[in-house]
Structure 1
Amino acid sequence: MDFITELLQNQIFISAVLGWLVAQVLKTLIHLIITKQFLMERMVGGGGMPSSHSATVCALATSVGIKYGGGSFEFAVTAMVAIIVMYDAMGVRRETGKQGRVLNEMMEVLMNMGKQISVEERLKEFVGHTPLQVLMGAILGIIIAAIVMNI
């Protein structure tokens, strides 16, 4: 029980979790406003504005930097993890989403030609992020960490 109590009092952990949670809620609301459709999948799914990956790792790195300082090994590790995660979100994961979109279009063509393809076989297209989505997630994470660490 002490572990859970300590975890819930850990400002660094709380910053990272809140970074993710706030980004996911914002992503869902933005999707609702733009498409006029509520998709619960947006609360846990990847892709979209803002990047919850960026918000999470930037909240983590920022809160570690505030607590241990910019010269600490803890900050160096979390900052490098944040850079790798954000780079991956804009690179490999974004390309995966583009490929998913193309493959889904190809499946539509095959279905129109009479081929039997189930709807469950569609690939996810929201997996990566644009640079703007990553930037907005990063800013969100930094702000959340600054607030949590000053409470």
Structure 2
Amino acid sequence: MDIFSNFPLMAGLFAILFAQFVKIPILYLVTRQVDWKLFTSTGGMPSSHSAAVTALTTAVAIEHGVDSTIFAVATLFAVITMYDATGVRFQAGQQALTINKLRNDFNIFVNETRNWQQKKEEEKIEELKTLLGHKPSEVLMGAITGIIIAFVFYAVL
């Protein structure tokens, strides 16, 4: 089988790319700022994880039916992925926010007691990534995006 004719795979991969790209104009509409780094970052609206797994699951359902074993596997994979995106990964992001605040507060303390500003940039600690997981609304929008993409792909192919 030619990998590029694998409908579920192509739908899932396209859903990831689409969801990652669409984050940029969404951020622009909300903040009037363009941040191209969003294309390669985790978190944000819509969830590319949810878009990918729901596009994959929907494409499997279209191609093999909802009574197939592969649909069952894809569905459980999607549920676990989306649960993780809103649970563990979201909480890790919240913890990173708290740690970054604590570190910033500590840096203010250090600035008052030492000459922190004169240290080289590479000597300073890089902030932890806080946009790791998703809010439930981001996961829902990612899921809707994935389902729509799978049906559009099916109609086009």
State the AA in 2 paired with 1:72. S
Q: Which runs of 4+ in 1 moved over 6 A?
A: none
Could you list the per-position Cα deviations for residues 6-39 of structure 1 after superposition, in whole angstroms to 9, with x for gaps in the alignment?
1122211110011111100111221233233322
Number of residue-to-residue matches in the alignment:
146
Q: Which moved more, 1:40-49 or 1:78-87?
A: 40-49
Alignment partner of 2:52: what SS? helix
1:118 and 1:28 mapped to 2: Cα distance?
A: 29
Match of 1:41 in 2: 37
Task: Name which one, 1 or 2, has greater alpha-carbon Rg.
Answer: 2
1:24 and 1:119 mapped to 2: Cα distance?
A: 28
Alignment partner of 1:150: what SS? helix
Are 2:54 and 1:52 equivalent residues in the alignment? no
Are 2:154 and 1:149 equivalent residues in the alignment? yes
The counterpart of 1:77, out of the listed 67, 73, 77, is 73
Q: What percentage of aligned pairs have identical amino acids?
A: 39
What TM-score do you get using the length of structure 2 for normalisation? 0.88
Match of 2:124 in 1: 118
What TM-score do you get using the length of structure 1 for normalisation? 0.91
Are 2:131 and 1:135 equivalent residues in the alignment? no
Alignment partner of 2:130: what SS? coil
